[in-house]
Amino acid sequence: MLPASAATWTVRAQPARLVNGGPVLFLAKPPAKLESLTGTWLGHQLTFSYDASTKTWFALAGVSIETTPGKYALELTAERAATQAPLTVTHTFAVARAHYPQIKVELTVEKKFTEPTPEQQEQIAEGVKVKQDYLSRVTPTREWDGNFTAPADATISDVFGSQRIFNGKANSPHLGLDFRVPTGTPVAAMNAGIVLLARFLYYEGGFVVIDHGQGFLTLYLHLSEFKVKEGDQVKRGQIIGLSGGTGRATGPHLHVAVRWQGTYLDPAGLLQLSVP
């Protein structure tokens, strides 16, 4: 049973309609001053930040693409003054099924990407290990600040969730957003963060990953050139590399992906959020 004071809380989500694969911004306005606010959502831990101008606590999160439609609880734990016990508040949100395009795109890539040699398989395995080591890291400090912005001013050539077929073989759903850009186009960081990876991998080609803190990563693939190195601190809009067609790419373009605590989210949804 919720404490009576929980009824005076305002807890909402942006966007108002949550879907599988979608990012979400949780906003909570408590009735009294808090020392800190944390939460649990779909098995993930959230750390909220405070916006003094609106007296609202906020946290970025998401819904995995595998999540089935239904109602899910956001459990909040509020730390108050030292003399008061922590307060627990639960708010339920409905998750609907997203309607991602079922367009089957026939693509042709070099044979080494569909039938790799033993030596190439070793390179692929090295890349898999690198991604396992880095892409599920959750650093506690929030580096992102304000809205996430597009990495390039260009049209979208492929969207999140679409089905792809390489050389006649079905592949997993497209878990990113493709921008139609020629080789050499400057690619900008979508928000502030620390460069986690800046290296060439077999499938990704020139690959930059920015850690925005609290489990949020943005990934930039197929780059022809790096403008940053691992460990660099970057600002939103800073040029991190030049686009290209390296790795498993059918031609020059920029593939951008978003990961939150180990799950891929729709980058287009993240770009639409109004973040404090």
Element containing residue 194 per DSSP (H, E): strand 193-201
- CA-wise closest residue to 10 among 55, 40, 43: 55
* 151/228 same-domain check: yes
* 38/164 same-domain check: no
Query: Rounded to whole angstroms, how far apart are CA atoms 235 and 144?
Result: 9
CATH number at residue 92: 2.60.40.10
In this predicted structure, what is the pLDDT of residue 159? 87
Structure tokens at 2: 């919720």
Cα atoms in the 13 Å half-sphere on the side-chain side of 244: 17
* 85/108 same-domain check: no
* 175/200 same-domain check: yes
Structure tokens at 39: 């939460």
Query: Rounded to whole angstroms, how far apart are CA atoms 86 and 80?
Result: 6
- Asked if residue 276 is part of any domain, the answer here is no
* 70/19 same-domain check: yes
Give how many domains the chain has, as a whole number. 2
Query: Rounded to whole angstroms, how far apart are CA atoms 259 and 209?
Result: 10
- Asked if residue 264 is part of any domain, the answer here is yes
A 10 A CB-CB count for 169 gives 9
In this predicted structure, what is the pLDDT of residue 4? 41
In this predicted structure, what is the pLDDT of residue 105? 60
What phi and psi, each to the nearest 5 degrees, are found at residue 121?
-65, -35
Structure tokens at 238: 């800073």
In this predicted structure, what is the pLDDT of residue 170? 60
* 177/149 same-domain check: yes
- CA-wise closest residue to 148 among 20, 24, 13, 267: 267
In this predicted structure, what is the pLDDT of residue 108? 63
* 90/150 same-domain check: no
In this predicted structure, what is the pLDDT of residue 79? 93
Place of tokens 């309609």: 17
Q: What is the pLDDT of residues 4-35, one digit of tens each?
A: 455 689 999 999 999 999 999 999 999 989 99
CATH number at residue 116: 2.70.70.10
Q: Structural domain of residue 182, as residue ranges?
A: 104-271
The tens-digit pLDDT sequence of the chain (276 residues) is: 344 455 689 999 999 999 999 999 999 999 989 999 999 999 999 999 999 999 999 999 999 999 999 999 999 999 987 778 889 999 999 999 998 876 666 666 666 666 777 888 888 888 888 888 899 888 989 999 999 999 999 999 888 887 766 556 666 678 999 999 999 999 999 999 999 999 999 889 999 999 999 999 999 999 999 999 999 999 999 999 999 999 888 889 999 999 999 999 999 999 999 998
